[in-house]
Amino acid sequence: MGKGIIGFIGVTGLVITLVAAGYVARGPLTGGTLPPRLHLIGAGAWFVVGLITFAWGMKKFTASADRPEPDRGRLRMYKR
C-alpha cells in the first residue's frame, strides 16, 4: 500500500507541474498575452512545488526497499 500512495504523490506532482506550465504557456500558444505578473509568480511557485513533489515521489517509488546482504566471509568478529 505504501508504494501506491508514494506513486500517487509523484503523479500528483506531475499534474501540478503540467497545469502550472500550461497556465503560463496557454496565452502565447493560443495567440493571447501572458497572464498578469502576480499570476506568473504564483504559477512559477506551483511549478517548483510540483517539480519537487514529482521528483521526491518518483525517487521514493523507484527506490529499492531490499537491503543488501553483507558478505559474511569479509565481516570481522570482535571479541571482548
The Cα 45–Cα 20 span in angstroms is: 9
Q: What is the mean pLDDT of each run of 10 residues along the chain (80 residues)?
A: 84 95 90 90 95 92 74 63
Break the chain into its structural domains and give their ranges.
14-62
What is the value of pTM for the model shown?
0.73
Here the contacts of 24-33 (C-beta below 8 Å, separation 24 or greater) are: none
Q: How far is CA 44 from CA 22, 30, 38, 65, in A?
A: 11, 20, 10, 34
Measured over the CA atoms of residue 58, residue 1, residue 8 and residue 42, the dihedral's sign is negative
Give the amino acid at 43: A
